[in-house]
Amino acid sequence: MLCPFCSHLESKVVNSRQSPKGESIRRRRECLKCGHRFTTFEMVEKVPIMVIKRDGRREAFDRQKMAGGIIRACEKRPVTLEEVERVVLFVEKSLHNNMEKEVSSLKIGEIVLKKLREIDEVAYVRFASVYRQFRDISEFSHEVKVLLQSEG
């Protein structure tokens, strides 16, 4: 590992710890030349996922963009940021476990809807109205009826 102080290539690991979420390893290192200590983080390299939009465009998967949509759907609802983060992590893990390099925005939306339905029905309907592009009140009403029927 390159020392950030003297650019020497050799260092020794003094301490290693797993991050709280278990997604990376924090390593405390000491340069074998100058003796300065520095911290590095080691994590699994994830293959970038391309999202195929409805109009055929492709763009890189953006977790912040997805989280923003979920947060908007959950506004003024009893949904914590931790729950939103769990949904985002679930979607990310699902996409990476699927091992596909390209995935449709429709598939991502369905995964989000499935998780939102478990958390908050109002947030689910809000997200569905944008994701499924409801054109009028009848489509909105239909979605609510489907939701009510599945509960009974």
Q: By the 8 A CB rule, do 150 and 124 touch?
A: no
- Give the chain's mean pLDDT: 89
Instruction: Give which of 87, 89, 84, 72 is closest to 125, Cα–Cα.
Output: 72
Residue recorded with tokens 């369905």: 110
Instruction: Give which of 12, 66, 56 is closest to 34, Cα–Cα.
Output: 12
Pairing relationship of beta strands 102-104 and 50-52 according to DSSP bridges: parallel
Taking residues 28-50, report their average pLDDT.
Answer: 90
Per-residue model confidence as pLDDT tens digits over 92-137: 989 988 888 999 999 999 999 999 999 998 998 889 888 777 777 7
pTM of the model: 0.64
